């Protein structure tokens, strides 16, 4: 399972290597020229109505052999009898500009997605059985343009996520539910909360929703998402979100796009505060020293494994809701423009995210 681990260092490999240097040298325009598809949007053939009843449609599933979400670093073990059911939506792993959406059988995209689960979804295997679907995700270039094709690609991907979620609910039984995602997966999760959780009896079963690596406006989005922001570590039935930046930070690439959009309640997001949970403390808007960090995933030199290193990274929420991590650790050449540690949002705080899920499950049951 860990032979080709690469944990989150492998997420968005092409982006992190080629696009990072291209951006620094030539700017956003070149990124768009090299990553945004030029072809017209064409919807991929839909999977059968019962597609998610088949195990091959799940990258992680409680009955799947070699489940990548069961990976743990040395000294940590998955729960033998997990009490919760976790629905995890992986981030973008399709980097091809030849199509707007990934075919379900794209091997490169699926292999990268499995790596994401080792470094991200694995944080939840101490409390829950994990379901993580394959879906016809939008390609990375869809996030670099406001073309109608990009919206169509994201809507198609979201349709798959909803279908997988319906199947997940059937299989999860009456267990408490943890929802989690990252980047594109967090975008789909935010829509799912609005469409399937808000105002529904299901909301009472949600332990927490980890909408990580995607901005949530406190005023334009949160009121429509069905759960409140997590204000304190012992709170259940709430939403967590953070976006990690080293200092000096330049979040303009994210904020410029975010501010040009409209929130779930029809209000413009421009200038609005964003949800910022400190993953070290589990509280909203506070600060914590590196000594309180329970463990960052640090890869081995040959990138075949990772260890959990305590006390490496501090965290504090600042400004409109960005998570500042000081100078930032040296985790390789995968920091995105603007000192954006997006690729490492979970792995920087893997130990604390794991403890947070356990604490909120205890609060939910208590």
pLDDT digits (tens, 9 = 90+) for 45-69: 888 889 999 999 999 999 999 999 9
Confidence class for position 8, pLDDT limits 50, 70, 90: very low
Tell me what pLDDT residue 6 has.
37
> How much is the pLDDT for 197?
98
Alpha carbons 230 and 363: distance in angstroms, whole number? 12
Average pLDDT over residues 85-100: 94
Provide, rounded to the nearest whole percent, the portion of the chain with pLDDT above 70: 90
Give the pLDDT confidence score for residue 31 in this predicted structure. Answer: 64
pLDDT at residue number 302 = 65
The H or E element spanning position 60 is strand 58-60
DSSP-assigned letters across all residues of 125-160: TTTEEEEEE---PBPGGGGG---HHHHHHHHHHHHH
Q: Is the pLDDT of residue 275 over 60?
A: yes
Question: 285 vs 233, 288, 354, CA distance in Å?
Answer: 12, 10, 20
Whether 23 has a pLDDT exceeding 50, the answer reads no
From first CA to last CA, the distance across the chain in angstroms is 35
Mean pLDDT of 304-326: 95
Strands 315-318 vs 322-324: parallel, antiparallel or unpaired: antiparallel
Tell me, what's the pLDDT at 30? 60
Q: What is the DSSP letter of 333?
A: S
**pLDDT exceeds 70 at position 172:** yes
Kindly tell me if the per-residue pLDDT of 1 is higher than 80: no
Q: Look at the pTM and tell me if it is higher than 0.85.
A: yes
């Amino acid at each position: 399972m860990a032979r080709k681990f690469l944990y989150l260092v492998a997420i968005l490999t092409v982006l992190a290597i080629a696009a990072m240097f291209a951006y620094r040298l030539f700017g956003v325009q070149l990124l768009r020229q090299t990553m945004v598809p030029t072809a017209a949007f064409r919807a991929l053939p839909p999977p059968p109505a019962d597609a998610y009843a088949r195990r091959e449609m799940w990258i992680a599933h409680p009955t799947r052999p070699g489940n990548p979400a069961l990976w743990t670093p040395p000294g940590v073990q998955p729960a033998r009898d997990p009490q919760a059911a976790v629905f995890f939506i992986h981030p973008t792993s399709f980097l091809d500009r030849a199509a707007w959406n990934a075919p379900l059988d794209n091997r490169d995209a699926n292999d990268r997605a499995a790596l994401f689960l080792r470094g991200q979804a694995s944080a939840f295997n101490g409390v829950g059985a994990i379901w993580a679907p394959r879906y016809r995700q939008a390609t990375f270039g869809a996030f670099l343009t406001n073309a109608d094709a990009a919206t169509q690609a994201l809507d198609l991907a979201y349709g798959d996520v909803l279908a997988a979620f319906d199947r997940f609910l059937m299989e999860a039984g009456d267990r408490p539910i943890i929802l989690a995602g990252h980047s594109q997966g967090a975008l789909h999760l935010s829509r799912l909360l609005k469409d399937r959780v808000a105002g529904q009896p299901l909301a009472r079963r949600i332990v927490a929703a980890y909408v990580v690596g995607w901005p949530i406006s406190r005023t334009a989005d949160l009121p429509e998402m069905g759960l409140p922001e997590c204000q304190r570590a012992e709170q259940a039935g709430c939403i967590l979100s953070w976006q990690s930046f080293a200092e000096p930070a330049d979040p303009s690439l994210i904020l410029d796009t975010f501010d040009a959009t409209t929130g779930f309640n029809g209000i413009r997001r421009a200038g609005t505060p964003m949800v910022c949970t400190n993953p070290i403390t589990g509280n909203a808007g506070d600060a914590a020293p590196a000594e309180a960090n329970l463990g960052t995933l640090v890869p081995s030199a040959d990138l075949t494994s990772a260890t959990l290193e305590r006390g490496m990274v501090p965290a504090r929420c600042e400004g409109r809701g960005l998570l500042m991590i000081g100078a930032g650790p040296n985790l390789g050449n995968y920091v995105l423009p603007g000192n954006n540690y997006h690729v490492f949002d979970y792995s920087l705080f893997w130990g604390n995210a794991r403890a947070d899920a356990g604490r909120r499950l205890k609060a939910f049951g208590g």
